[in-house]
Amino acid sequence: MMTLLKLCLLFSLLSLALSHDATFNSHLLPRPLILEDIDTQLKEHEEEINLQCTSWRFAAETNNLIPWKTIPRECAGYVKDYVTGRGYKLEMERVSNEAGVYAKTVLLSGDDKDAWIFDIDETLLSNLPYYADHGYGLEIFDPVEFDKWVEKAVAPAIEPSLKFYEEVLNLGFKVFLLTGRSERHRSVTVENLINAGFRDWDKLILRACDDHGKLATVYKSEKRSEMVKDGYRIRGNSGDQWSDLLGFAMSDRSFKLPNPMYYIP
Amino acid sequence: MMTLLKLCLLFSLLSLALSHDATFNSHLLPRPLILEDIDTQLKEHEEEINLQCTSWRFAAETNNLIPWKTIPRECAGYVKDYVTGRGYKLEMERVSNEAGVYAKTVLLSGDDKDAWIFDIDETLLSNLPYYADHGYGLEIFDPVEFDKWVEKAVAPAIEPSLKFYEEVLNLGFKVFLLTGRSERHRSVTVENLINAGFRDWDKLILRACDDHGKLATVYKSEKRSEMVKDGYRIRGNSGDQWSDLLGFAMSDRSFKLPNPMYYIP
């Protein structure tokens, strides 16, 4: 839609430019001014898209949006540029750095009951190769296609998360992996995590039969409640969805990784 | 610091440009190429600052940062441009729009116990005129100076918030204003709210003597707990700080307004 609009704008300005062409003196004016106008207008259009999509991204990342199924069509290019560019990397690094600073300030009790929870998808493992083939969130989520991808067990590690994961282990936290993936994907998930460099987690929790159909917020809160009942203190929690972090039995401190591609309630 | 760096870069490139000047043929080259290089390098520098400060802002808005007292020095221009430009306005509008869509979906029980909580500063009222005189968050917060500003009672309404506030009233919610301002500022706060167009709140809650010294998260959670004990259902909560929204007795749904200028724990 927006690309169409852009093209229309370009053509209408171009025809305007051509109709005036004869009056230009190419020696005095190295470039026809009207082309600069097109440049300016396209640039303004680009800036407007950038502004609107940044505003949308902030609303998404701060959990202000009404549940959404796909990214806004006009933000397709913006989201692609962001997740494949330096912005996404930088933000990933910053989350892990800040979480690292916090983790070091936590006084562990020495009873092996201080826990850190990690989500898996878009938190430890990146599904960017899958989303690259599916419009970076522009297509409605296809569970069948996504399962095929999961079963390949080739999702790469998010590097700053892997580094932070190691720090958490070294500091002596118990590590719980709490994922919305199904129990039937346990072995491929373990395989993928190990191949990506993750190790020594205390427990990997996946959705059992009776967890399917629950909202992620509820399922994850219930699992955290069980940890608390088992005497664990949840000192930190890292996830790319607010449904990883909110609800009940919440962590002392949560860290929200960026994810402008999809939303899980 | 960054401005200094930029100036150094400019001067070093400029001297380079001047030393080569004699070799340029100004007829063939309408602009010395080296100046385009400066443009390019300054543009790249600007893009880098923009990227870094957007990443910082994302981390601030998602509550990922370790408590901070001032904005990063190199983001001074970025924050100023953002809060005085269209970005801040757009994001304010978006939060209110999304909150409005949610508010309409809430089925009110008709027993006058469905409540919406609003924070005041940077949520209903804007202190931008004050922060404009104090570096938009670059200076450490000065409670004496800020009190003088509060006592003037001239903070303007945040327009999209005022519009949403009216909607909330019209839908039939009870409105609670829960602010970190001191009880001794009750009358100036009421005066300012009314002058800015706000009306008909059910209760205005300010910090009493024994609330001072409490973290905002604790103070506000305690006040929400009292509402719940009084039989209220907290259906929505709007605030610019995570300490308005997190803790206990949390709202069904929270809306985080942008505020890149200061952080209240």
Mean pLDDT of chain A: 91
pLDDT at B8 over 60: no
Q: Where are the domains of chain A?
A: 2-61, 96-256
Instruction: Give residue-wise pLDDT tens across range A171-191.
Output: 999 999 999 999 999 999 999
CATH T-level topology, domain A96-256: Rossmann fold (3.40.50)
Amino acid type, A74: E
DSSP secondary structure, chain B, as one string: -HHHHHHHHHHHHHHHHHHTGGG--TTT-SS-HHHHHHHHHHHHHHHHHHHHHHHHHHHHHTT-S---SS--GGGHHHHHHHHHSHHHHHHHHHHHHHHHHHHHH----SSS-EEEEE--BTTTB--HHHHHTTGGGTSPP-HHHHHHHHHHT-PPB-HHHHHHHHHHHHHT-EEEEEEEEEGGGHHHHHHHHHHTT----SEEEEE-GGGTTS-HHHHHHHHHHHHHHTT-EEEEEEESSHHHH-SSS--SSEEE----S----
Per-residue pLDDT, averaged over A226-240, amounts to: 98
Reported confidence tier of residue B28, pLDDT bands at 50, 70, 90? low
Instruction: Give residue-wise pLDDT tens across range B233-255.
Output: 999 999 999 999 999 999 999 99
**ipTM field:** 0.85
Separation between Cα atoms, residue A217 and residue A224, nearest integer Å: 11
Reported confidence tier of residue B32, pLDDT bands at 50, 70, 90? low
By Cβ distance, the residue of B51, B56, B94 closest to A55 is: B94
Instruction: Give residue-wise pLDDT tens across range A54-104.
Output: 999 999 999 999 999 999 999 999 999 999 999 999 999 999 999 999 999
Per-residue pLDDT, averaged over A106-127, amounts to: 97
Reported confidence tier of residue B29, pLDDT bands at 50, 70, 90? low
Task: Give the pLDDT of residue A26.
Answer: 43
pLDDT at A1 over 90: no
Least Cα separation, residue A87 to chain B (angstroms)? 6
For chains A and B, CB pairs below 8 A equal 71
The model carries a pTM of: 0.86
pLDDT at A20 over 70: no
pLDDT at B17 over 90: no
The answer to whether residue B28 neighbours chain A at the CB level (below 8 Å) is: no
Please say whether the beta carbons of B240 and B259 come within 8 A. Answer: yes
Residues 54-113 of B with CB under 8 A from A: 54-59, 61-66, 86-87, 90-91, 94-95, 98-99, 101-102
Reported confidence tier of residue B30, pLDDT bands at 50, 70, 90? low
- The dotted CATH code for B73-256 is 3.40.50.1000
CA distances from A54 to A41, A66, B11, B211 (A): 20, 17, 34, 37
Sign of CA dihedral B79, B82, B84, B90: negative
